[in-house]
Amino acid sequence: MPRQQDPSRPDPTVIGEVSAPPFARLPDPQTLFIHRSERLEALADDHQLGLYLRFLAALTGAQHRIQDGLPDVELPTAEARERARTFGMPPLDRNQFTSDAALGMTLARLFEAATAIEKPEAAAAALSRLTIADASGVDSMVRNVLTDAIPMNALAEHVYVAAALQVHFARLAARLDGPKLVPVADGACPACGGPPVSSIIVGWHGAHGARFCVCALCGTLWNHVRIKCTLCGSTKGIGYQEIEGGPGTVKAETCDACGCYVKILYQHKDPALDPVADDVATLGLDLLVREGGHRRGSFNPFLVGY
């Protein structure tokens, strides 16, 4: 059996590489969700959350399939995008977002596709309620997701709405001009202004070892220096926690300044890691870190309520 490289040691294949990571990397909706689905399916084997992970694998698979034939998404005007850039604002402002035909069809297709997947009883009941909800009720849920304010009495319904919004906003973000994106605020996506779901250390050529935050909504990645809180920007009181005996590829980066934590995934050690899927699969790490008094500072619509 070939000897495995110690993941804690530098990769000799990148010695001498000059790291010059881009500020932002836009999502590819055609690969984003299918890769996530495959990762969730792989994680489900022999996992305590196996049933839920398989449900999410099916749901993210549906996110991939429903894209064929969707109406083109419409970006804000070039003038509006340039104005946002000038004032350090996200071009896809979630606070100013209004539903359109593309989102309407995305929601309808996602709800229809979700009826055919195997799901927990609570998720099935939530989907039944959702499919008979009126337009104003669905619009209200859209607004809840975009403001990260999901009510506890309707968590399951919002999972489906969030899944549709992820597709829509990934399609929007994919059409932006990546090099024109600028920093907007600590802990905010430069494309849509949303919070990160986690951060990743990448192994890309030209950016090996760089850290990127990953938007929970549109999937945009933005560069963020290491050993610095992804939420408040503090460099003091930064710590790292992980499950003892684990592979060391997923840790919680804690910040004493703001009292929050965001997971960091060492994707350069394990390229299969997915910022959303592996966040869900490491729920045990959340429980461990909370015992120490830190609060979850990231947002994952598939973990709301935990």
Buried/exposed code over 101-126 (b: 16+ C-beta within 10 A; e: otherwise): ebbbbbbebbbebbeebebeeebeeb
pLDDT of residue 3: 31
Domains, the chain, with CATH or none: 24-179 (3.90.1670.10), 180-296 (3.90.1670.10)
β partners of residue 25: 221
The answer to whether the Cα torsion of 183, 188, 191, 193 is positive or negative is negative
CA distances from 174 to 8, 13, 188, 227, 235 (A): 34, 31, 17, 29, 32
Q: Report the DSSP pairing between strands 196-201 and 260-266.
A: parallel
Question: pTM of the full predicted structure?
Answer: 0.92
pLDDT of residue 17: 53
Mean pLDDT split into 10-residue runs, the chain, 306 residues: 34 54 97 98 96 97 97 96 96 91 96 95 94 94 93 93 98 97 96 97 93 98 96 96 94 97 97 98 96 95 86
- Separation CA 268–CA 255 (nearest Å): 23
- Separation CA 197–CA 216 (nearest Å): 5
Place of tokens 């429980």: 287
Which pairs from 147-153 meet CB under 8 Å and 24+ separation? Answer: 147/94, 147/95, 148/194, 148/195, 148/299, 150/301, 150/304, 152/305
pLDDT of residue 304: 85
